[in-house]
Structure 1
Amino acid sequence: MKMTGARGLGSAVLIAIAGICGTGAAQVAQSADARITRVQDSSSEVTRGPVTNLPVPRYVSLKGSEGNARRGPSLSHRIDWVFRHAGMPLRVTAEFGHWRRVEDKDGAGGWVHYALLSGVRTALVTEDMLELRSRPEADGNVVALAEAGAIVRLGECKPDWCRISGGGQRGWVPKSTIWGVDPGEIRE
């Protein structure tokens, strides 16, 4: 369903992996700036949000089936996008009070109230007919296929591979074929 002024979504299902794909790209004007604090980590500099002290940027997911993304961090700001799928991966780029500035894979988004977001990690499949493998190796057995746009649950991630699950299936995919995890990120 495509909507004016909202983030339209269509469905994508293949074999045992189900998800939702986004359509179009958009530019979002940001009228409010959020403060960020830099914290020196032992190995590299990490940017932390001033409200949660969590890393910024970081990935989260949409908690409910709908979330309004506003031009600024308050209810008085205009709604630029409506995200319409529970579990959609989003990237937090700033914090201000109870608001988080988020963006999707295409960079579209805005300010969303923190209550609409979840810390559950999901990912968006970016390669069509992506092969899920039984182990994190290119020669592992193919256990399922996923269509581009499928939203899956993110599990363990090694330097080059991540384990994903959805539709009752799970398997390993190259990290470069999904959106919702940073290239250097390791998850156990």
Structure 2
Amino acid sequence: MRRLSLFAATCLALTGLTISPLLGTGPDAGFAAHAQAAAKGPSGLPLPRFVSLKAKRVNLRVGPGQDYAVAWLYTKSGVPMEVIQEYDNWRRVRDAEGTEGWVYQSLLSGERTAMTAPWKKGEATEDFIDMHREARSNADIVARLEPGVVVVVKACNGEWCEAQADGTTGWVQQNEIWGAYPGEAFK
């Protein structure tokens, strides 16, 4: 069994963020994402939806255009984002901490990634997220993931998601990640 930490879980971990006070997390910026009736944005894709950062450096802007100030700078690709609005070629996104802003659409990827239990990050307890060999709670544990580890999500069945972290593939409970809606199933 492997134990993966936020730092050991690789190049997908969130590091090197530049923070600006222009955007923050408000009381309504919670972690629980709720799948709503599948509204379609101007792109024809559903809103909201999960995506990931394609580029290694992505500016999160306060408005949909290059003339708007940069509020955050993400310095790793693969970070999960939730698209909540579209305007022309710009996407309003929310990260796992609830921070919202605008990103140019070509900097986003349809590859699904997720963050393990970001709501548990920073807690003193050793509350790990178990990755199982099969999609059942009594299956062998193949890895223990710290809260905040970014995983690549291959599929979800509504209760479990098949994920990969640092070369290890297994199943995590869907309610232990941020990057798939409750009950959402996809391959």
TM-score, structure 2 length as denominator? 0.79
Shift of 1:143: 0.8
Matches within 5 A, 1:79-118: 79-118=70-109
Shift of 1:149: 1.0
Give me the whole-angstrom Cα distance separating, in 2, the residues matched to 1:130 and 1:21.
18
Shift of 1:80: 1.0
User: Would the alpha carbon gap of residues 144 and 112 (structure 1) be closer, same or farther in structure 2, given more than 3 Å must change?
Assistant: same
Give me the whole-angstrom Cα distance separating, in 1, the residues matched to 2:37 and 2:178.
23
Corresponding residue of 1:27: 25
User: Would the alpha carbon gap of residues 175 and 45 (structure 1) be closer, same or farther in structure 2, given more than 3 Å must change?
Assistant: closer
2:38–2:48 contact (8 Å) kept in structure 1 = no
1:20–1:149 contact (8 Å) kept in structure 2 = yes
Shift of 1:147: 1.3
1:13–1:146 contact (8 Å) kept in structure 2 = no
Matches within 5 A, 1:1-188: 12-14=6-8, 17-18=9-10, 19-21=12-14, 26-27=24-25, 45-50=37-42, 52-126=43-117, 128-188=127-187
Q: How many aligned residue pairs are there?
A: 160
Give me the whole-angstrom Cα distance separating, in 1, the residues matched to 2:131 and 2:71.
35
Aligned partner letter, 1:102: V
Give me the whole-angstrom Cα distance separating, in 1, the residues matched to 2:116 and 2:155.
16
SS of residue paired to 1:13: coil
What stretches of structure 1 of length at least 5 have no aligned partner?
A: 1-10, 29-43
1:81–1:109 contact (8 Å) kept in structure 2 = no
Shift of 1:46: 2.2
SS of residue paired to 2:172: strand
Give me the whole-angstrom Cα distance separating, in 1, the residues matched to 2:136 and 2:109.
30
The superposition leaves residues 68-94 of structure 1 with CA deviations (integer Å, 9 ceiling, x where unpaired) of 011111111111111221000000000
Q: Percent identity?
A: 34
Aligned partner letter, 1:20: A
What stretches of structure 2 of length at least 5 have no aligned partner?
A: 27-35, 121-126
1:99–1:112 contact (8 Å) kept in structure 2 = yes
Give me the whole-angstrom Cα distance separating, in 2, the residues matched to 1:125 and 1:87.
13
Aligned partner letter, 2:40: R
Q: Name the Cα RMSD after superposition.
A: 2.2
Give me the whole-angstrom Cα distance separating, in 2, the residues matched to 1:142 and 1:104.
28
TM-score, structure 1 length as denominator? 0.78
